[in-house]
Amino acid sequence: MNQKSNNASTNTSEKTTRKVSVAVIGAGTAGQNAFRQAQKTTENIVIINDGIWTTICATIGCMPSKLLIAAAARAHEAKSSKEFGVHADVQIDGKQVMSRVQAERDRFAGFVKRQVESWPEDKKISGRAYINKEGLIEVNDELIAADKIIVATGSSPFVPEGWVDKLGKTLITSDTVFELTDLPASMAVVGTGAIGLELAQAFTRLGVDVTLFNRVNRVGGLRDEDINQKAIECLGHELTMQLDSKIIDVGTQTNADNEAPSAFIDYKDSAGQSQQWQGECVLVATGRRNNINQLGIENLGVELDDKNRPKNLNINTGQIGDLQLYIVGDANAHLPLLHVASDEGFSAGSEVCRDNVGAYIRPPAIPLGIVFCEPQIANVGMSLPEIERSERTHVTGKVSFDNQGRSRIMGVNCGLLHIYACKETDKILGACMVGPDAEYVAHILAVAVTNELSVKELLDTPFYHPTILEGLRSALRDVQKQMSIPHQAEKREEDGF
């Protein structure tokens, strides 16, 4: 691994059962990408995994959550179609909803499993890895000396201290929610990040009585206060939210008729008044934490900051300083998103290639986050606070979707888009949005930021009529107007109708 570990492995060679060029610890998205890439140039490689040999995305994350959201969207469209003159009697079969979620989830996970099954058995080790003080990897009854180590151990749900014991079986997390065999009658969701918002709205639309809690008056991690307030307004038409609330205690209580225990949450609301929520279960969506605490990476000289993130991290490759150690994906807690984990795993697997032959290091992705609630929430590039701290001279282009043509036609006219642009360079710095089709608007803006397109260059591309994306053009024109650059000035009237 490093000089220390190489010397140690020589002194304990009689105890070492295997010597490898590369060891990958963790078989999620990042780990699997790293293994596949590194295997192209070295046969002397192992991948060690504790738990399921699939990915968070396929098994407990992106795919099952979108399956639940898809069911919820069907129910919502049917129930809210009266304004279009379409009347429907909606009946939701909770068991069938969850059965389809699980069946399709297992189908997606099956693709990953088949990929893993195609790998040589002698290169896969099931067990919990620990890096000892000699720099050797202990797993099961083996000691493994690795020239290079890639750590891709992922993340786990964070649950406040004591809640597991207090809530017992009434507590569920994003790791367990998709194992429900039926829809509960009522649910509290704690946390308004991406996971909390998406699941709270989905269960609400499927007929579950949901109350959403958060300790601050913010949803979706939004840092632009105008967008945040608009998101609260739009989502508040459906969701019961207790924002800016303080949870005092949680627990369970048994009903007089000896039914299964129900959960309770004692809290103070935004006005400071004591309240209690009671219901069937509590979904804790208070974030995820990286799984590196008990791995022993400190024995290799790795230091962590106050948020458990490794210091001296190369965001391109995941390498820690000059150590032959790479920490990638959710394990480094840099940007815990699937596409980032995929790129980091690919880059780390390329970087450890022998003599770096055939290595292709993907550039770090710009920040891009999407919350798949309705209306959707998106953040692209630099946030408004980051821009303000940088002291760049910037302007903010704005557009409301409340009366935007296609949005109103579709009955999804609630939203707001802000585009932040540098006044000196005419380049887009970032954007924040709540509104319809935010996922597509965000991708267009991400391409613009990545390729350093000017506002004029983006406006020179076609915008088809009538589309929701015409709202993007309106915001760009607002940016252009504020730039006060003569050769870019346009006087065309808005043609959104």
Under the banding of pLDDT at 50, 70 and 90, the label for residue 344 is confident
> Which of 187-191, 280-284, 351-355 has the least mean pLDDT?
351-355
Let me know: does 433 contact 460? Beta carbons within 8 Å.
no
Model confidence at 7: pLDDT above 90: no
pLDDT tens by residue, 92-134: 999 999 999 999 999 999 998 998 999 999 999 999 999 999 9
Model confidence at 485: pLDDT above 70: no
Whether residue 93 is contained in a domain is answered as: no
Whether residue 108 is contained in a domain is answered as: no
Instruction: Kindly tell me the number of DSSP H helices and DSSP E strands found in the chain.
Output: 14, 22
Helix, strand, coil percentages for the chain (3-state, nearest 5) = 35, 25, 40
What pLDDT is recorded for position 6? Answer: 42
Does 477 lie in the same domain as 439? yes
What pLDDT is recorded for position 256? Answer: 67
What pLDDT is recorded for position 317? Answer: 84
Give the ranges where 303-360 is alpha helix by DSSP (H). Answer: 338-351
- Return the percentage of the chain with pLDDT > 90, whole number: 76
Does 265 lie in the same domain as 326? no
Does 260 lie in the same domain as 148? no
pLDDT tens by residue, 301-340: 999 998 889 999 988 789 999 999 999 999 998 877 888 8
Instruction: For residue 423, give the CATH number of its domain.
Output: 3.30.390.30
Under the banding of pLDDT at 50, 70 and 90, the label for residue 359 is low
138: β partners: 130, 143
What pLDDT is recorded for position 407? Answer: 96
Model confidence at 11: pLDDT above 50: no
Does 243 lie in the same domain as 141? no
pLDDT tens by residue, 42-76: 889 999 999 888 888 888 889 999 999 999 999 99
Q: At what angle do helices 62-79 and 194-205 cross, to 10 degrees?
A: 40
Q: How many CB atoms lie within 10 A of CB 95?
A: 11
Does 405 lie in the same domain as 374? yes
Structure tokens at 293: 């605490």
Model confidence at 491: pLDDT above 80: no
Model confidence at 494: pLDDT above 80: no
Does 294 lie in the same domain as 153? yes
Does 453 lie in the same domain as 324? no
Whether residue 242 is contained in a domain is answered as: yes
Does 293 lie in the same domain as 279? no
Please state the domain count of the chain: 3
pLDDT tens by residue, 432-463: 999 999 999 999 999 999 999 999 999 999 99
In single-letter form, the type of residue at position 303 comes to: E
Let me know: does 193 contact 200? Beta carbons within 8 Å.
no
Whether residue 427 is contained in a domain is answered as: yes
In which domain, by residue range, is 185 found? 163-287
Structural domain ending residue among the three candidates 356, 376, 398: 356
What pLDDT is recorded for position 360? Answer: 63
What average pLDDT score do residues 374-400 get?
A: 95
Does 296 lie in the same domain as 235? no
68: β partners: none
What pLDDT is recorded for position 101? Answer: 97
Does 293 lie in the same domain as 283? no
Instruction: For residue 180, give the CATH number of its domain.
Output: 3.50.50.60
Model confidence at 12: pLDDT above 80: no
Does 476 lie in the same domain as 442? yes
pLDDT tens by residue, 177-203: 999 999 999 999 999 999 999 999 999
Under the banding of pLDDT at 50, 70 and 90, the label for residue 488 is very low
Let me know: does 366 contact 449? Beta carbons within 8 Å.
yes
Show the CA angle centred on residue 47, arms to residues 44 and 51, nearest 5°.
165
CA 201 to CA 196: how far, in whole Å? 8
pLDDT tens by residue, 224-241: 999 999 999 999 999 999
CA 429 to CA 124: how far, in whole Å? 44
Structural domain ending residue among the three candidates 321, 356, 391: 356
Does 187 lie in the same domain as 224? yes
Indicate the average pLDDT of the chain.
90
pLDDT tens by residue, 391-422: 889 999 999 999 999 999 999 999 999 999 99
Structural domain ending residue among the three candidates 299, 332, 356: 356
What pLDDT is recorded for position 339? Answer: 83
> Which of 90-104, 258-272, 340-354, 391-405 has the least mean pLDDT?
340-354
Whether residue 107 is contained in a domain is answered as: no
